[in-house]
Structure 1
């Protein structure tokens, strides 16, 4: 009587294995052998160099195309935060010009403004993004 359950189990296992189609066996974990050690790609945090013109007279005789107005801000949310920085506002203005494919900015003004919506004080820089043909 003990042989009957063993025979049924063997028959069941043989029947299940015959019902499955055989598929090629793929290695789930292929071996990876790099030919050279992987080098990390450099991260560029600086945009292309953008020339800042503070005097419009410096552009006289130089061909350029005006790409539009750009601005940058630095905000002091409340009185206990760090003071707004004109240099940060200028840097953000230059980054905005870089996204417009400009290679120069003519600075119109930088100022610190008080009681702006959302800011206790705010440094703002405004200028024109330019594409200058350097000779």
Structure 2
């Protein structure tokens, strides 16, 4: 009766070894792709840079469309972690604006808050995502 679990274990392990793929060496990167090799796809394009406006007066002479509110956060989980960073929060806000197809952000405020749920300290930036037209 003790042999039955051992036999089942041995069979299950050998069953997994049947899925092993044979070794195929990787061709060197200096070789040109042949007709049988698929062409390598290009990496995903980087999002367009999002300009940061801190003063609404800079937008007075420029036509723009407001795409909505955006925010970015940086969290310091415990007192021993690296501190919450306003630059990181600002950058995350710009990335979110870029995903909304914005090319600019009007910064409303950036601040460090304490007592946020799950964070010892948190840097938060809020702004408006804008699509500024070229004149």
Q: TM-score, normalised by structure 2?
A: 0.69
Matched with 2:28 is none
Deviation at 1:133, TM superposition (A): 0.5
**Residues 1:41 and 2:42 aligned together:** yes
Matched with 2:92 is 92
Please say which structure displays the higher CA radius of gyration: 1
Q: What are the ranges of 5 or more consecutive residues in structure 2 without an aligned counterpart?
A: 1-32
**Residues 1:65 and 2:46 aligned together:** no
Deviation at 1:115, TM superposition (A): 1.3
SS at match of 1:107: strand
Residues 62, 119 of structure 1: alpha-carbon distance in 2 compared, 3 angstrom cutoff: same
Q: What are the ranges of 5 or more consecutive residues in structure 1 without an aligned counterpart?
A: 1-32
Alignment root-mean-square deviation, CA: 1.8
Matched with 1:115 is 115
Q: TM-score, normalised by structure 1?
A: 0.69
Distance 1:59 1:134 in 2: 12
User: How big is each residue's C-alpha offset from its partner over 1:27-75, in whole Å with a ceiling of 9 and x where there is no partner?
Assistant: xxxxxx823975462354x421111101100000211111110000000
